[in-house]
Amino acid sequence: MSTEEKKFETQNLPTKTYFWPLKRYQDLYNSALTDSEGFWAKHSDVLSWEKPWEKVLDWNPPYARWFVGGKLNMSYQCVDRHAKSWRKSKVAIYWEGENGDTQTISYSDLYENVNRYASVLKKLGIGKGDRVTVYLPMIPEMVYILLACNRVGAIHNVIFSGFSSQSIADRVNDSGSKMVVTASGGHRRGKILPLKEIVDEAVKSTPSVEHVLVIKYTGYEVVMDPARDVWAHDMLKDADKYVAPEAMDSTDPLFILYTSGTTGKPKGILHGTGGYGVWACNTLKWAFKPTDESVFWCTADVGWITGHTYVVYAPLALGLTQVIYEGAPDYPSVDRWWEIIDKYGVSIFYTSPTAIRMFMRHGEELPAKHNLGTLEMLGSVGEPINPEAWEWYYKNIGHENCPISDTWWQTETGGFMITPCPGIQSFPLKPGSATLPLPGVDPVVVDAEGKELPANEIGFIAIRKPWPGIMLGIYNGDELYKKTYWSRFPGWYCPGDFSMKDSDGYLWLLGRADEVIKVAGHRISTAELEHALVGHSSVAEAAVASRPDEVKGEAIVVFVTLKKDVEASADVKRELTHHLRTAIGTIATPEEIIFVEKLPKTRSGKIMRRLLKAVANEVPIGDTTTLDDETSVNEARAAFDELL
């Protein structure tokens, strides 16, 4: 027996065991570290290359360029190669609308639609390198459009359909998009989201937009501007059946996706083609062990990175069958998701801790009403999963038969980084730990100076080597890229999370170490919220903190000082909530708004966030000797008490 096997024999084993000695995983992990070139050369064959690459990695810190010299097209990976094979009649997508409409889309249907949409894009003047903003509900056209963008070499920029006109305008302008693709409406909890109207407002201030391409959906009436707006169904009538996929360089951009950081403005994370594609496919295989019989369901919206990588690119490039559901998890009833698993025989189910906690509140009777016996693998993403939610998920959804891959990663990493990987081999799981790094990921837990910490101590996580899924950079933001991710621990990628490695080498990802809040797994920065708040005519100063929320993980608590002539009132609170939703979107809805006379600041004028957080959380506030005016804290606390 090897030492490793012995270690796992003797250690205090966690309760959930999918247990083989860590041999295959370790061999693979070690070979990715010691022979990175050989390892990735082998694993790059998950994609079909139009021209083989010449060099695995060009590492010019902090820029990594993967599979240099290679040419490929991602829409080819996701449709052509399946439509030309036995998979042509295989179901690519079981689509279910919130209102009960359904579509079954085979790989040859997908091929046909992607080609026709690519032809529409071309006819509207979209070509290689152009940016296309996409603001769509979770309808099949979301997939067609993204792959059609790839096909003609355009860079898509998806904006989650909960974001406001202002957020769309900012992202369209930063990306210089030539086109916005939207739908007349989308369904959400029985209501219609007026997507086209929201876009109309946004494009009043986006000079780069030449066309708005509109997909007719929901029957919601919209006003078309004949000089700018185009109905997709009109254009599709004359669309070509085939558009040759543009041969892209492996290092060409595939998409931009805006995400919040510590600055007031979201950053356009730019991902490449070959490296991202290789990472997306391999990570899905490792973490979820899919087969051609699998029915995969990732519940994320394509508006977020999880939907990009694990709804669009990885499952389709691997030729899987997947479910896409348009609506809310609890509409029309809280067992809608379990009904869908039952209906389509879902075998791999991937969702967020927030969703699990929401279901927990409604009790185990609801999932118990449905046959979930087809499930083989479960997954979790977006925020730390508390052991209680993990256990509930394991027991009531997986019926103690399915491993849970708790996947830790980020918009910037392109795909999973730290996760159990039953696709390589099984090993013991610990509820709440994302376990071990995937092959190619070299993490270390360090103190503020970058010194590696011993086991069981909490510090920052850093990644010491580039991996194929790493972003190309920030669109229009070279300096920001260097500063945000590479300046803290030079030469290492700094994700901005707290972490701890336990004595078995398992990693525990413990939440953000910066001013980023995770509301229902969605990322939002305090700076962005504060920036929006001070844009309101009643607000003098604003500071934002978070407070733990039983379902959403974290909730937004806003502290504001009002301008002299403004009276604090419930009306002003309502107005500020509305203002945040208009400036950013629904995810910016605050849980509490607290009026204070002064914000607690240090003598050098910096807002003492620790204090605000303590007030928001009602915990002892610790040392306040550097505080300029202690009364403001007491005041904030008193205002908070009133709300309870």
- Distance between CA 525 and CA 627 in Å, rounded? 24
Phi, psi values for residue 540, rounded to 5°: -90, -55
Could you give the CA distance from residue 552 to residue 266 in angstroms, rounded to a whole number?
A: 21
Q: Does 471 bind ligand PRX (CB under 6 A)?
A: no
Residue 306 in the binding site for ligand PRX (CB under 6 A): yes
Q: How far is the CB of 497 from ligand PRX (least distance, A)?
A: 5
Which residue's CB is nearer to ligand PRX, number 183 or number 381?
Answer: 381
The count of other CB atoms within 10 Å of the CB of residue 374 is: 15
By the rule CB under 6 A, 406 interacts with ligand PRX: yes
Q: Indicate whether 515 belongs to the interface with ligand PRX (CB under 6 A).
A: no
**Whole-angstrom Cα distance, residue 228 to residue 94?**
33
Q: Are 530 and 264 in contact (CB under 8 A)?
A: yes
The residue within the footprint of ligand PRX, chosen from 133, 165, 299, 411 (CB under 6 A), is 411
Q: Which is nearer to ligand PRX, 209 or 402 (CB)?
A: 402
Stretch that binds ligand PRX, among 10-18, 108-116, 511-519, 547-555 (CB under 6 A): 511-519
Neighbours of 46 (CB within 10 A): 18
Single residue of 80, 98, 326, 383 touching ligand PRX by CB under 6 A: 383
By CB under 6 A, tell whether 593 contacts ligand PRX. no
CA separation for the pair 231, 234 (Å, rounded): 5
Q: Which residue has the tokens 């805006």?
A: 258
| Torsion over CA: 315, 316, 319, 323 (sign) | positive
Answer yes or no whether residue 382 interacts with ligand PRX by CB under 6 A: yes
Q: Does position 381 bind ligand PRX by CB under 6 A?
A: yes
Considering the rule CB under 6 A, would residue 410 count as an interface residue with ligand PRX?
yes
CB of 356 to ligand PRX, least distance (A): 12
**DSSP-derived secondary structure for 42-92:** HHGGGS--SB--SEEEEEETTEEEEEET-EE-HHIIIIIHHHTSGGGGSEE
**Between β-strands 102-106 and 211-215, what pairing exists: parallel, antiparallel or unpaired?**
unpaired
Q: Smallest distance, Å, CB 260 to ligand PRX? A: 8
With contacts defined by CB under 6 A, name the span among 137-145, 342-350, 365-373, 491-499 that binds ligand PRX. 491-499
Q: Give the nearest distance from C-beta 486 to ligand PRX in angstroms.
A: 16
Q: How many Cβ atoms sit within 10 Å of the Cβ of residue 192?
A: 15
Antiparallel, parallel or unpaired: β 191-193 and 91-96:
unpaired
- Cβ–Cβ under 8 Å, residues 372 and 389: no
- Between 286 and 409, name the residue whose CB sits nearer to ligand PRX: 409
**Beta carbon of residue 337, minimum distance to ligand PRX (angstroms, whole number):** 19
Segment lying near ligand PRX (by CB under 6 A), choices 66-74, 230-238, 489-497, 613-621: 489-497
Q: How far is the CB of 121 from ligand PRX (least distance, A)?
A: 28
Tell me 385's DSSP state.
P
- Chain centroid, CA 531 distance in Å: 23
Q: What share of the chain is helix, strand, coil (3-state, %, to 5)?
A: 35, 25, 40
The 244-273 site mask, x for binding ligand PRX (CB under 6 A), equals ---------------x--------------
Tell whether residue 313 is a contact of ligand PRX (CB under 6 A).
no
**Which of these ranges, 176-184, 370-378, 495-503, 529-537, lies near ligand PRX under the rule CB under 6 A?**
495-503
Q: Is 441 in the site for ligand PRX (CB under 6 A)?
A: no
What's CA 320's distance to the chain center, in Å? 20
**Torsion region of 124: left, alpha or beta (phi above 0 gives left; psi -120 to 50 gives alpha):** alpha
Tokens 């994302």 correspond to what residue?
434
Is 509 a binder of ligand PRX (CB under 6 A)? yes
Measured distance CA(497)–CA(489) in Å, rounded: 13
Examine residue 434 and tell whether it contacts ligand PRX (CB under 6 A): yes
Is 175 a residue that touches ligand PRX (CB under 6 A)?
no
Closest residue to ligand PRX, based on beta-carbon distance: 411
Token pair for 515: 């001013």
- For helices 140-152 and 107-123, give the axis angle rounded to 10 degrees: 60
Piece in contact with ligand PRX (CB under 6 A), picked from 111-119, 175-183, 319-327, 405-413: 405-413
Q: At closest approach, how far in Å is the CB of 406 from ligand PRX? A: 5
Q: Give the contacts of 595 (CB within 8 A, at least 6 positions apart).
A: 560, 561, 562, 568, 572, 639
φ and ψ at 307, to 5 degrees? -70, -35
Q: 512, 552, 579, 637: which one contacts ligand PRX (CB under 6 A)?
A: 512
Q: Is 327 in the site for ligand PRX (CB under 6 A)?
A: no
Span from 60-68, 98-106, 168-176, 493-501 in contact with ligand PRX (CB under 6 A): 493-501
Q: Which two tokens stand for residue 361?
A: 């509140």
Q: Which stretch binds ligand PRX (CB under 6 A): 67-75, 506-514, 548-556, 561-569?
A: 506-514
Binding site for ligand PRX (CB under 6 A): 259, 305-306, 380-384, 406-411, 434, 495-497, 509, 511-512, 518, 523
